[in-house]
Amino acid sequence: MVKSRFSPRELKFLELYFSGVLMKDAVRGAGFRGSTPQALCNSGKAILTKFTRNPHFHRDWRRRRRIAQLLAGMTENGQSERQRLKTLKILAALL
């Protein structure tokens, strides 16, 4: 079951990840620890799953706006089409 709240570390991860930092680096930057790069990526994937499935988070307009701004900025950077599409899907779910 998905929890309804995000910890400060989870929010920091989302901000870092949506600003274009690699997943494992965003997880580390948010203060999570893992014994392998795969363990770090699994932690990041769990937070992203929680983010996309959590309606309570979307009620927090200030955070929502900040993450939407970060996502919109990501689509303007020189990213691959696949990454841009992924970012736009997350942005669409937010809105």
1 in any annotated domain: no
Residue with tokens 């900025």: 73
Does 94 have pLDDT greater than 70? no
In a domain, 3, yes or no: no
- Domain of residue 14: give its range: 8-94
Q: What is the pTM for the complete model shown?
A: 0.58
Of residues 63, 26, 66, 64, the one with CA closest to residue 47: 26
Integer Cα distance of 41 and 47 in angstroms: 10
For range 68-95, the mean pLDDT: 69
For the chain, the domain total comes to 1
Q: What is the pLDDT of residue 77?
A: 62
What length does the chain have? Answer: 95
What pLDDT score does 2 carry? 45
d(CA 71, CA 14): 10
Examine the pLDDT at 3 and tell me if it is beyond 50. no
